[in-house]
Structure 1
Amino acid sequence: MSGSHEPDGEIWTFADFQPGMALGTIDLALDADRRAHWNEVYGESVGAAGAMVPQGLAVALMMDAYVKVIQPRPPGNVHAMQTLSFTGTDAAWGDLMHFDFNVGGKEMKRERRWVTFSVTGRTDADIILTGEIRAIWAA
């Protein structure tokens, strides 16, 4: 994982976020272990290695990436909304997905600290999804 803020025990605060700031990139493998976990939950619902992965798994990976990249977070944050757009190209089992996070914006609204995180999920060859996560930041 790479990023501009190294976890040093200090939580991310609203003041740390600057619009346009790169927060980090993390790589998550669409490997046999992840496929086995998906099948535990949904049954034998996915194809063999090389087959396209369900879009729901791409979303789950994106959320896993989010909680790993933006650390440490203060307790009490609220994941208020998210929007995702899929490009029409799917990742395949065996791919490595890269998730890039940036600060899309921040604002004070009704005494709440709102932070928008931009995310791009891609393989080595293609962009799979883009989106935003809006959070009410606790600190």
Structure 2
Amino acid sequence: MKNKKLILLPAAAAERMCPLRPEDRLLCAVGQFEPRRMNMWYPVRSCFLTAQSIDEANAVFKRLRKTVLHSAQAMRRFCAANPEAQRHDFWCPTYDFAYAGAVNGYRLRCMVNHGDFNYFFVVYRNGRTINESEAA
């Protein structure tokens, strides 16, 4: 991850190549920039987390915090530069992005608003779905 550039794709295009299914969610984070920066993590299906998937998720989130999620202004600039990622079915300007890591899949939803929360970051399990693994 150190030398690999993090390329976020509009989620609609990325899902045509590799769907991110709700049943494959491992972790979710909700974050805000103001009045005080906060990230709140919620385990979803954490029993499927491995040390490798946690390490990659931490590296991806750290990279996002240095770039797209560095500040509210940085996030707004990134979203404005990617209008094809905009979702028009939300109450505020909302942009969905996806990233395929070596271990996990990721979705970043940016909510360009003041107050409330500003982003939603989801870590997905790659490969077979969790339901397929449970059946095996």
Pairwise same-fold verdict (TM > 0.5):
no
The answer to which structure has the higher helix fraction is 2
TM-score calculated relative to the size of structure 2: 0.35
Query: Whose radius of gyration is greater, 1 or 2?
Result: 1
The answer to which structure has the higher strand fraction is 1
